[in-house]
Amino acid sequence: METVIVFTERMEALAAFYQEALLLDSYERSPKHMGQRVGPVYLGFDQVDLVEGDSRAGVTLWFTVDDIQATFDRLVAMDARVRYAPTQKPWGGFLACVYDPDGNMLGLSQRQS
């Protein structure tokens, strides 16, 4: 596991809670994201504004894998709902994302050689 992203309507408050509870350094920030490395794992908080009918925000777990396409195909064969297929990002990395059976996001990152 390389990354955990918590989606929340209360990004600032939730990030502050973990920062104080775990004695973390200051977060890197962008308008709707705060995060930092906690040991070998990146812990991030994303601001989401739930629309009527949404029951909760959720969590995204990111895993670095050796073969992103094979892992993605295996998840799809297990009936995982696709958020996005393996895609090359502007910085050159490949990412994909599906939803687990509870609706949490499971992200995949291609291991760089």
Tokens of 35: 């995060």
Compute the distance between CA of residue 44 and CA of residue 36 in angstroms, rounded to an integer: 6
Considering the chain, what percentage of its residues have pLDDT values greater than 70?
A: 93
Distances (CA, A) of 69 to 85, 103, 104: 8, 21, 20
pLDDT tens string 63-101? 889 999 999 999 999 989 999 999 998 888 999 999 887
Q: What is the pTM of this model?
A: 0.66
Domains and CATH numbers, the chain: 1-49 (2.60.40.4320), 56-113 (3.10.180.10)
CA–CA separation, 48 and 71 (whole Å)? 28
